[in-house]
Structure 1
Amino acid sequence: MWAASELRNNTQQTRKITYSRKIFLPLTNLCRDRCGYCTFVKGPEQAGAHTMSPDEVLKVARQGQSLGCKEALLSLGDHPEYRHPEILDTLREFGFNSTIDYVAAMSRLILEETGLLPHTNCGLLDKDEISVIAPWNVSMGIMLESTSMALHNVGGAHYKTVTKAPVDRLNTLSNAGELGVAMTTGILIGIGETHKDRVDSLMKIRKINEEYGNIQEIIIQNFRAKNDTRMSAIPDANVLDLLKTQAVARLFMGASMNIESPPNLNEESCQTYLLAGINDWGGISPLTKDFINPERAWPEVSKLRRLTSDAGFELRERTALFPDYVSSGKWFTSSSVRQKVLDITSPDGYIKTDLERW
């Protein structure tokens, strides 16, 4: 871990740890998959099933704007109409013919009406679909999770899923790379994969980044068991295993890669992540909960700032496009996005200090 921490420190961002002040918009919790660890996804007739209306989206975005948020995370199930065609009736009521059209329109609405910078995570995408969404997003994301095909066996985390095939998720990252879209990805540890699988997953991500340079961040996320799931009895990934994986990721991906682990999944020990080479806390919301892990509240930014400072680092706010990608000037998906980013960032790519909110 010492080697990983020292490697991170030998960069131009030495002693800086970043986070993004965001809102979380779960556009719809319908999905064509049923992963063994997920409580986010609902069926159309289940309690809690919901697709946000444009008015709902804009209301939350404006609330976030008033609280100094800069990012709007749009997260939703993967192509829910493939499994639940009835969602198309709802989308048509809103004036859209597909989930992709809806995501693009909501991204544009948020960008133009509030100035918040959308970052969309909506699953597998081909190049045509990315081309529709990207002009209104500052960056996009898809978790690789794991390249392990054993997870697709009976009882596995990805049993009977249709969107978690590693080749398809890697193709989405490559599609984005061909189109010049910065992507966040990562691995989920403790879901039945081996240490070798983790290294293989990182190797696949690194290969794409070597070709396109579009992997702006890698998330190392630990599994936390949830009630009412197939994996409710599986032990949580332990902190030491997480720290080792963070360190391996830093050593393997190099000094310049942005590496995150969400602090809300281990708030009591997240400060130790800084000793294992991470340089980012991810998105933190003063308004909305983590709808993927609703039982795990985000820490207050003031607390995160104190934990970061006590460990000898400076906490800085960023957009959903990382500072090195902002300052390079090569990763803006449209002139509209570019101008919005430049309005709130300094030449070094970080949020202007007078706009940071603590």
Structure 2
Amino acid sequence: GAELGCKEALLSLGDHPEERHPEMRETLRELGFESTPEYVAAMSRLVLEETGLLPHTNCGTLDYDEMAAIAPWNASMGIMLESASLRLHEPGGPHHGTVTKRPEQRIATLETAAELGVAMTTGVLIGIGETANERVDALLAIRDVQERSGNVQEVIVQNFRAKAATRMRAAPEPSALDMLRTLAVARLLLGPEMNIQAPPNLQSDGYETYLLCGINDWGGVSPLTKDFINPEAAWPDTDRLHDLTREAGYELRERTALYPSHVLDGGWARSHAVASRLAELTDDEGYVKPELERWN
């Protein structure tokens, strides 16, 4: 990844899988670890020290000690709120039985991150059975966290994609118009300063219209790996992204896993190792130095 010009390594995985799968706990012990967060902390450090890539970890809900172990080796971290609706946890709902998807647990993780000074990415997943009002409730819950804690650097609005061999394999996916409406509402509710991202690979055509409805970030686009969360959705060509962004009247710049405003603030790096790498990669505006951008 580093050889191809990548700046970030995304570590995204399930929430404490060893608690549900005994074979995972056995594998961790064979590797010398007692828990997934302990393993992730070690791998984050290894990635940073061996490759220079800046880790960004999303491994579900974390307590204070777990996050404190991972944070020093990450430029930022993330956990999707997905929804603030308790109705979706009722029998037959998409979140039934998924205790760690309960909104209060996810919000608690965001607040734990704030205690540790960790910049966080969060977001909503639309099209999983929530109502329009519940979608607004989720965005307002994120706004409330930001107003209290100030550590939300980015909000993702992600459209649901049906997957084979899952409970929701036959569920309808949200339309392009639904995405546009939600992005516009997100911008209105979250204000002009919040960074709003929508993944371009989850909309096969017309994703450039997202730029007209409030987004200011495309998220990560890998030249090496597929989108392991949505493997059926190919990444767009970065040259095309560059051209579409310019046609909409904007300049496409590359950033690190820590947003430019947070880079410039100087207080968000949780270790000297992360701060040093950010200094090597970024310019005086907090973006990746132009000569290091992948499309140069």
Quickly name the TM-score band, shorter chain normalised: over 0.9
CA deviation after TM superposition for structure 1 residue 257, in Å: 0.4
Q: 1:302-347: per-residue Cα shift (whole Å, max 9, x none)?
A: 1111111121111000000011111111211111101101111001
1:154 CA drift (Å): 2.1
Matches within 5 A, 1:292-307: 292-307=229-244
RMSD value, Cα: 0.9
In the alignment, which residue of structure 1 is the partner of 2:145?
Answer: 208
Report the CA distance between 1:202 and its aligned residue. 1.2
Counterparts of residues 151-190 of structure 1 (less than 5 Å): 151-190=88-127
Give, as a single letter, the amino acid of the residue that structure 2 aligns with 1:275.
L
The residue aligned with 2:264 is 327
The CA distance in 1 between the partners of 2:4 and 2:234, in whole Å, is 18
Q: Give the counterpart of 2:62 among 125, 129, 146.
A: 125
In structure 1, what is the Cα distance between the partners aligned to 2:160 and 2:23?
A: 32
Q: TM-score normalised to the size of structure 1? A: 0.81
Which structure 2 residues correspond to residues 114-263 of structure 1 after superposition, within 5 A? Answer: 114-263=51-200
Which residue pairs with 1:49 in the alignment?
Answer: none
Alpha-carbon separation, structure 1, partners of 2:64 and 2:142: 18
Larger strand percent: 1
User: Where do 5+ consecutive residues of structure 2 fail to align?
Assistant: none
1:288-315 residue CA offsets vs partner (Å, 9 max, x unmatched): 1111100001112111111111211110
Which amino acid in the other structure matches residue 207 of structure 1? D
C-alpha separation between the residues in 2 aligned to 1:101 and 1:264? 32
How many aligned positions are there? Answer: 295
- Number of the residue aligned with 1:73: 10
Distance 2:207 2:56 in 1: 24
Would you identify which runs of 4 or more consecutive aligned residues in structure 1 move more than 3 Å? none
Aligned partner letter, 2:65: D
After superposition, the C-alpha distances for 1:40-89 in whole angstroms (9 at most, x for unaligned) are: xxxxxxxxxxxxxxxxxxxxxxxx01101000000111101111122122
For the residues of structure 1 that align with 2:94 and 2:40, how far apart are their CA atoms? 27
Percent identity, aligned pairs only?
A: 64
Unaligned segments of structure 1, at least 5 residues: 1-63
Q: TM-score, normalised by structure 2?
A: 0.98
Please list the CA deviations of residues 191-243 of structure 1 after superposition, one character each: whole Å capped at 9, or x if unmatched: 01111111111111111111221000000011121222111221110111111
Residue 102 of structure 1: which of 39, 63, 68 is its match? Answer: 39
Structure 1 residue 93: Cα displacement: 2.3
Structure 2: distance between partners of 1:152 and 1:227: 21
